[in-house]
A and B are shown apart, each in its own frame.
Chain A
């Protein structure tokens, strides 16, 4: 009986605890951890179903993205179970997916509202692992959440397939063996966006950064600063704004007298939906500074935000992971089945969520087991194609996907409410690949798999 076992643990813990409180200082620590048999791992699915844990921000600054991710996961799970039109299952190459669930087990899911907060995301993920028996955690639209949950998953021995997270730290400084990211990162945004900015705005610019104050904002600011300074631009100031701010006027006023002629908005989600129109209404884009037209750049932008920001986004440059209007087979298939199910084209958040769910399922099929270290091996260094980003590599060194990056521009004359971004350039994988060692960090071991 499991309870008996727990009772014994309690007694031992209480005894040692009491002895310790009375005793002196720190006793030498003996860390014992046996090697676990392959059947004995966290949440080994024994029945005929397997559960995904979806950790989604349904409230807070990134709620819009979270809702779109949820739609995508539900679609992916339906497709994995052989329902619907199969979506990207038909175009993924190589693919081990059969459309009968994963290893013959039907896929189900539990979800949790992470409120765009790291603490809450972690509590939700723990609940899904401990109570609901989730075999894999996925989702999140903030790098803060992703990094917090990734650490937890490493501790529990549960694979984490990150959703929307763009910080360099997710697969850099804070990378973990059990965490995987399909989405691109700020450094790649810098590589892709830099040359386009140089071409459009010249090399004599003075940039002013407004940055969301957490890991993603910090690393994006750093990457974009490096990329623009390489062009010869000068950085006038970098100002941090709290995540979830609604009124940016106090941050916009100082820009007027700063001598800057470019505003770089390192904001995402609702933050940008607020800050960009406010900057435009403030008259920044109608100004001239240093004898040049004032410009705004949004290094990371998505359709959802462009839609939310309305007319303000027209003509503004940024980067995206994926766009629904791409003309390869994968993008067409995904846009079609998502549109059929929900009546709107998918956002890049939805795309990366969907792809991550499929890639995990595919890796389990290829590994032939849910045992996490084997699944990790199957994902590491996996080369695949057909998911809408061209040939893609899940790099083993940092668990970052290497693929092409899109430079996009706000559409000047949108034909529909979804036609808000134009793809200006597709920057190839060769260009956006970088040396994983520049960010440091350690993946840690996969084995022995921790037992939650």
Chain B
């Protein structure tokens, strides 16, 4: 990578990010999250959040409907695995293309408005897509039950090259099954690529245009720029990121359910971005990791595990602690997530990345007041 292409800081950030990502199986193991499925999800939702940030963080358009593109990506990927081949590459290429087209249509309609109206429009379209997937298009989506691979799928390309297999069909990459740690590194490579592309976009003249749209769209228009093509491109790019993430989720775990298109899933990616830090590159990824960690680890704790953990404490104290903490784990993990979210938004409006910056600033020159972060708001 030569110096003209990337600044030194960007390169350090990319390399540091790659290192952190690739060593996740080691440093997450003591936290109880070092197993392939969750690691894959960390990567996948990281990509989703990075893509969402291009629209929300850079351009300032708050979309409440990104789960629709995620779902379209998943369904496309599963259908490609069913109809064409078990290989992951065609599935992912198709998923990105189809979700991009879908984003183009929805973006074209929604970007006629900005601010809250834009958010509501995207929410409406996403909810429509969810309902289509849930009940209207059940022959294509299999509704609530979810779309799965079966032995009797046609798989035209596989059949043409005379490839056969035994057992449950599993997506492959040139013959290597994508499961377990192989699946994790596969997703990790995509996260790093996605991160790199987002970095390039943010630093490019195009990214500058997006930032300008965010800071004052009207002024942009008065200076003679037509902002809509730029906003639409950002929307489509971020829709394609979502499609890529959805496809990866379907490739590593070949089931596409309608729930992943629900408005809660759209809200989740907004939470991830805000929690980590809107407009920052790393923030949304960290937000995604934190939410997925909470969802998968806290929700798996139950009273029995807590009781074992607090066994050393005297009687009465331990049962009291189990009772209180039990409300915040297991099926009550949303409560913990809500509390963390409220605390972060109140004390660190710039998300976790603001916390990181404040700590770094405090270390750099002790005693001086920490810098205030860049405020992030939706486009007017």
A-side contacts of B163, CB under 8 Å: 28-29, 31
Does B174 make an interface contact (CB < 8 A)? yes
Instruction: Compute how far the CA of A119 lies from the CA of B143 in the bound complex, rounded to whole angstroms.
Output: 12
Question: B176 to A110, Cβ gap below 8 A?
Answer: no
Question: A119 to B260, Cβ gap below 8 A?
Answer: yes
Question: B185 to A143, Cβ gap below 8 A?
Answer: no
Interface residues of A in 168-212 (CB under 8 A from B): 169, 174, 176
Does B115 make an interface contact (CB < 8 A)? no
Given the interface pairs A16-B176, A113-B331, A445-B166, the reply to whether A213 lies near B157 with Cβ below 8 Å is no
Instruction: Compute how far the CA of A318 lies from the CA of B360 in the bound complex, rounded to whole angstroms.
Output: 66
A107 CB to nearest chain B CB (Å): 13
Interface residues of B in 134-181 (CB under 8 A from A): 134-135, 138, 142-146, 148-152, 157-158, 161, 163-168, 170, 172-176, 179-181
Which of chain B's residues has its CB closest to A126's CB?
B37
Does B32 make an interface contact (CB < 8 A)? yes
Which of chain A's residues has its CB closest to B183's CB?
A13
A-side contacts of B186, CB under 8 Å: 13, 17
Question: B185 to A26, Cβ gap below 8 A?
Answer: no
Question: B300 to A112, Cβ gap below 8 A?
Answer: yes
Question: B180 to A214, Cβ gap below 8 A?
Answer: no
Contact indicator per residue, chain A 116-132, by CB within 8 Å of chain B (1) or not (0): 01111011101100110
Binds B, one of A147-155, A230-238, A356-364, A389-397: A147-155
Question: A26 to B255, Cβ gap below 8 A?
Answer: no
Question: A130 to B36, Cβ gap below 8 A?
Answer: yes
Instruction: Compute how far the CA of A130 lies from the CA of B26 in the bound complex, rounded to whole angstroms.
Output: 15
The one of A10, A13, A19, A148 in contact with B255, judged by C-beta atoms closer than 8 angstroms, is A148
Does B259 make an interface contact (CB < 8 A)? yes
Instruction: Compute how far the CA of A110 lies from the CA of B138 in the bound complex, rounded to whole angstroms.
Output: 34
Instruction: Compute how far the CA of A215 lies from the CA of B255 in the bound complex, rounded to whole angstroms.
Output: 15
Does A1 make an interface contact (CB < 8 A)? no
Does A442 make an interface contact (CB < 8 A)? yes
Does A37 make an interface contact (CB < 8 A)? no
A64 CB to nearest chain B CB (Å): 13
Which of chain B's residues has its CB closest to A31's CB?
B165
Instruction: Compute how far the CA of A327 lies from the CA of B38 in the bound complex, rounded to whole angstroms.
Output: 47
Question: B296 to A123, Cβ gap below 8 A?
Answer: yes
Instruction: Compute how far the CA of A446 lies from the CA of B333 in the bound complex, rounded to whole angstroms.
Output: 37
Does A9 make an interface contact (CB < 8 A)? yes
Binds A, one of B82-90, B120-128, B312-320: B82-90
Contact indicator per residue, chain B 20-41, by CB within 8 Å of chain A (1) or not (0): 0000011000001011111001
Question: B158 to A10, Cβ gap below 8 A?
Answer: no
Contact indicator per residue, chain B 33-71, by CB within 8 Å of chain A (1) or not (0): 011111001000000000000000000000000000000
The one of A123, A131, A144 in contact with B41, judged by C-beta atoms closer than 8 angstroms, is A123
A-side contacts of B325, CB under 8 Å: none
Instruction: Compute how far the CA of A126 lies from the CA of B249 in the bound complex, rounded to whole angstroms.
Output: 13
Does A283 make an interface contact (CB < 8 A)? no
Given the interface pairs A122-B255, A154-B167, the reply to whether A58 lies near B331 with Cβ below 8 Å is yes
A433 CB to nearest chain B CB (Å): 25
Does A242 make an interface contact (CB < 8 A)? yes
Instruction: Compute how far the CA of A12 lies from the CA of B178 in the bound complex, rounded to whole angstroms.
Output: 12
Interface residues of A in 227-284 (CB under 8 A from B): 240, 242-243
Which of chain B's residues has its CB closest to A6's CB?
B181
A-side contacts of B164, CB under 8 Å: 31
Given the interface pairs A9-B181, A448-B166, the reply to whether A126 lies near B158 with Cβ below 8 Å is no
Instruction: Compute how far the CA of A411 lies from the CA of B41 in the bound complex, rounded to whole angstroms.
Output: 49
The one of B85, B87, B180, B189 in contact with A452, judged by C-beta atoms closer than 8 angstroms, is B180
A-side contacts of B168, CB under 8 Å: 151, 154-155, 176, 444, 450
Question: A14 to B174, Cβ gap below 8 A?
Answer: no
Does B302 make an interface contact (CB < 8 A)? yes
Contact indicator per residue, chain A 431-443, by CB within 8 Å of chain B (1) or not (0): 0000000000110
Question: A444 to B151, Cβ gap below 8 A?
Answer: yes
Contact indicator per residue, chain A 28-69, by CB within 8 Å of chain B (1) or not (0): 111111000000000000000000000000110000000000
Instruction: Compute how far the CA of A416 lies from the CA of B89 in the bound complex, rounded to whole angstroms.
Output: 61
The one of A14, A20, A59, A215 in contact with B144, judged by C-beta atoms closer than 8 angstroms, is A215
Given the interface pairs A9-B182, A119-B146, the reply to whether A27 lies near B35 with Cβ below 8 Å is no
Instruction: Compute how far the CA of A112 lies from the CA of B25 in the bound complex, rounded to whole angstroms.
Output: 22
Given the interface pairs A21-B89, A113-B330, the reply to whether A127 lies near B181 with Cβ below 8 Å is no
Does B377 make an interface contact (CB < 8 A)? no
Which of chain A's residues has its CB closest to B74's CB?
A119
Instruction: Compute how far the CA of A27 lies from the CA of B170 in the bound complex, rounded to whole angstroms.
Output: 17
Given the interface pairs A26-B87, A113-B331, A213-B134, the reply to whether A13 lies near B166 with Cβ below 8 Å is no
Instruction: Compute how far the CA of A13 lies from the CA of B251 in the bound complex, rounded to whole angstroms.
Output: 15
Does B114 make an interface contact (CB < 8 A)? no
Given the interface pairs A13-B173, A29-B161, the reply to whether A148 lies near B148 with Cβ below 8 Å is yes
A70 CB to nearest chain B CB (Å): 9
Instruction: Compute how far the CA of A422 lies from the CA of B253 in the bound complex, rounded to whole angstroms.
Output: 44
Instruction: Compute how far the CA of A151 lies from the CA of B150 in the bound complex, rounded to whole angstroms.
Output: 9
The one of B32, B38, B135, B253 in contact with A122, judged by C-beta atoms closer than 8 angstroms, is B253
Which of chain B's residues has its CB closest to A5's CB?
B181
A-side contacts of B259, CB under 8 Å: 117-120
Given the interface pairs A10-B181, A10-B185, A147-B145, the reply to whether A127 lies near B173 with Cβ below 8 Å is no
**Can you offer 12 A-B residue contacts whose CB atoms are under 8 A?**
A3-B25, A10-B185, A13-B182, A27-B174, A27-B175, A123-B41, A127-B37, A130-B36, A143-B145, A151-B254, A213-B134, A442-B150
Name B residues whose Cβ lies closer than 8 Å to a Cβ of A: 25-26, 32, 34-38, 41, 85-87, 89-90, 134-135, 138, 142-146, 148-152, 157-158, 161, 163-168, 170, 172-176, 179-182, 185-186, 189, 253-255, 257, 259-260, 296, 299-300, 302, 330-331
**A-B contact sample (13 more), CB < 8 A, given A118-B257, A144-B146, A174-B150:** A3-B26, A6-B25, A9-B185, A13-B182, A31-B163, A31-B172, A111-B300, A112-B299, A126-B37, A144-B145, A155-B167, A155-B179, A215-B145
The 5 closest A-B pairs by CB, nearest first: A214-B144, A131-B35, A126-B37, A215-B145, A154-B168
Name A residues whose Cβ lies closer than 8 Å to a Cβ of B: 3, 6, 9-10, 12-14, 16-17, 19-21, 26-33, 58-59, 110-113, 115, 117-120, 122-124, 126-127, 130-131, 143-144, 147-148, 151-152, 154-155, 169, 174, 176, 213-215, 240, 242-243, 441-442, 444-445, 448, 450, 452
